[in-house]
Chain A
Amino acid sequence: MEKFELAGVSLDVEVLGAGPPLLYLHPENYGQLHAPFVARLAESWTVYAPRHPGFDGRRPPADFRQVGDIAYLYLDLLGRLGLDSAAVLGASFGGWVALEMAVREPARLAALSLIAPLGVKLGGRDDRDFADLSALPDDEAAGCLFVGTPPDLGTFTEAELIAVARDRQFLAYYGWKPYLHNPSLARWLHRVTAPVHLIWGEADRFVAPGLGEGLASRLLDGRLDLVPGAGHYPQIERLDATIAALAAGPCAGVGG
């Protein structure tokens, strides 16, 4: 674990693997269930995996409340790491952060792979682009995220359960209202000049159907791959297929 101080924010960054650099921005839930995915990434890339402020157990500074703040923090991190033209992989909430980085400093990012990113709402005011998970019974909420058997919280350690509660707390902290999106982000997607590879579980019921296609069509160089047999986290439910999709995507072609 490497530690950084950036703009007054303490940041823990896990660095693992070997190969060209890849900034990996984690999603909002079930940290330990994504560990096998990160391990597989490390077989092909040098993975830089920061833990988002708040999700890391520290209280973010009082003026650090927007996903855009996380984006600026990681742009600073890229500078500190000396990565001028980086490949960025973001999943769900992490994908939202990646998009916010890309519209701010498009030239800094060489390629983006986004797994079911949050952050952009394309539906109308009556449409739920993102299922209201906290208002759904547990089994229905799990059914939005997983097409197969969802994680059994009964098997989680106490520390893992506390992490689940904390992850939900900070997803709310950054994304409660407007719900899981930045209302002006869709307007600026044309600024993203890097190729953007969208990877989406075919049976994702957390995010509204069609959002992936809508995003791809608004990007200058966007393409969408669907992963069969997966919900919102294909990297958990279809690990091999997700790794294969990434290996065939733009992040694979970015040198160190």
Chain B
Amino acid sequence: MKVWHFSEMAYHPGWEELGSSLRNVVPSRVYDPEVGADLYHRYLDEWALCDELGLNIMVNEHHTTATCTTSVCTIPIAILARETKKARLLCLGMPIANRMDAVRVAEEYAMIDVISRGRLEMGFVKGAPFEVSPANSNPATLMERFWEAHDLILQALTTHDGPFNWEGQHFQYRQVNVWPRPYQQPHPPVWMTVASPGSAAEGGARGHVIASLNTGYLRTPDIFESYRKAAAGAGREATRDRFAYLAIVGVGETDEEGKRRAHQILDYSRTTPRAAAQFWFPPGYTANEVTAQKLHNRSPLMIPLRDGGEFEMQTGTVDEFVNAGVAFAGNPDTVFEQIKEFNEHVGGLGHLLMMGQGGHISHEDTVGNLTLFSQEVLPRLAAL
């Protein structure tokens, strides 16, 4: 199992002032660029440390939010492509239905792949519903734009005989000719985030790596099974390295220390629901049958527990998140056993996307978390 350290580069100093809504409509006067510069360098240092620790690196992007100041995922990855030597670099990812210039995406990815000497992993993501507004992308046609961008980017990265023509529904170029060509052949590995059996099947049919984010004990097995079925249907073998899972990880010398670290990181999860209600269901983004139920009944985000109960995402405790399989927390033995059990439950993970930094956890605790994990847990995961 490979492990990837993920952080959203949160601007947590603004959270208290912003209150119930941290996304979309929050004024940037709350953001102090001097504090923000320190935070950017701190988070980059933590990722750079991963290169020494044997961990890989994952970044994402969000927009108009104090929960994540990585507004362009390729910027930290570009910096780290030069600053690191061994770690693989995962962008998970690029919201390709919200990026109006797909060829530019291919260029950014190709350039990073060459600079990193072939260490890039290319993520293509649908993007959260509240990302529609900042991009002003049409939510009613989002998925057809996603797949057209996907096809165009891959064709752009794998065509090496001069320009080709692309006059699609959403993207039009008459001379697509990306330089440089990527370092990895035919192209860097493709990852997709998935949240349902339906999206997992799309990944399975294409043989991409799927990453299921915080879907826990109850939802993840169906998602992975759907991938396996679709892969088999397409004549592909769904090897373990096709399956990734993102969880919050807090490790300490004691269970108490590990849980304390996880508790602080979990403010990532607890702040996720803090977006104004109207941005959760852009028209056509979700199936109308689902949106219809939410039109007048905006219930809080809930996470299912292993025993069938549920808890509110915004106020959950460490023990609840651990029970749900959304967090792994405790001393190294405890955390290893939790990951091992989850791994068996879902039928085998190739990648653990470890949120080792988030919320209010300090730099010192983050370094302690990553270091202890890499020394005491990572070697044992290699055998899984």
Contact = CB atoms under 8 A, between A and B. Distances in A.
Interface in B22-39: 24-25
Given A135-B24, A137-B277, A162-B288, A173 B141 contact: yes
Nearest to B169: A62
A138 B277 contact: yes
A114 B375 CA distance: 72
A172 B138 CA distance: 7
Given A170-B140, A173-B140, A135 B284 contact: no
Interface of B: 24-25, 133, 136, 138-141, 169, 276-279, 282-284, 288-289, 291-293, 295-296
B212 to A, nearest CB: 26
B199 to A, nearest CB: 19
Contact of B292 (A62, A135, A165, A172): A165
Interface in A192-226: none
A173 B133 CA distance: 15
Interface string A164-182: 1110111111001100000
Chain A interface SS verdict (over half): helix
Closest 7 CB pairs of A and B: A169-B284, A153-B296, A168-B283, A161-B292, A165-B288, A176-B138, A173-B140
A2 interface: no
14 contacts: A134-B278, A135-B24, A135-B279, A141-B278, A161-B292, A161-B296, A162-B289, A162-B292, A165-B288, A165-B295, A168-B291, A170-B284, A172-B283, A173-B284
B138 A169 contact: no
A177 B136 contact: yes
A138 B139 CA distance: 18
A177 B169 CA distance: 15
A172 B140 contact: yes
Nearest to A141: B278
B274 to A, nearest CB: 15
Interface in A23-47: none
Contact of A136 (B138, B278, B293): B278
A169 B276 contact: no
Query: Which of B24, B138, B169 has the most C-beta atoms of chain A within 10 angstroms of its own C-beta?
Result: B138
Interface string A33-75: 0000000000000000000000000000010000000000000
A126 interface: no
B284 A137 contact: no
A161 B283 contact: no
Contacts of A158: 292
Nearest to B286: A165
Nearest to A54: B140
Nearest to A170: B140
A135 B139 CA distance: 13
A154 interface: yes
Interface centre among B24, B133, B292, B293 (most CB of A within 10 A): B292
Contacts of A172: 138-140, 282-284
Given A136-B278, A137-B276, A138-B277, A176 B139 contact: yes
B278 A173 contact: no
B127 to A, nearest CB: 15
Contact of B138 (A135, A156, A173): A173
A140 to B, nearest CB: 9
B288 A166 contact: yes
Contacts of A168: 283-284, 291
A134 B282 contact: yes
Contacts of A134: 133, 278, 282-283
A169 B288 contact: yes
Given A136-B278, A165-B283, A153 B140 contact: no
B279 to A, nearest CB: 7
Contacts of A136: 278
Contact of A135 (B140, B278, B289): B278
B280 to A, nearest CB: 11
B141 A161 contact: no
Contacts of B279: 135
B292 A164 contact: yes
A136 to B, nearest CB: 6
Nearest to A159: B292
Given A153-B296, A161-B293, A164-B295, A138 B138 contact: no
Contacts of A154: 296
A182 B169 CA distance: 19
A169 B295 CA distance: 13
Contacts of B282: 134, 172
B293 to A, nearest CB: 7
Contacts of B296: 152-154, 156, 161
A152 B293 CA distance: 14
A177 B138 contact: yes
Contacts of B284: 168-170, 172-173
Contacts of B278: 134-138, 141
Nearest to A140: B278
Given A135-B24, A176-B139, A177-B136, A169 B277 contact: no
Given A62-B169, A161-B293, A176 B140 contact: yes
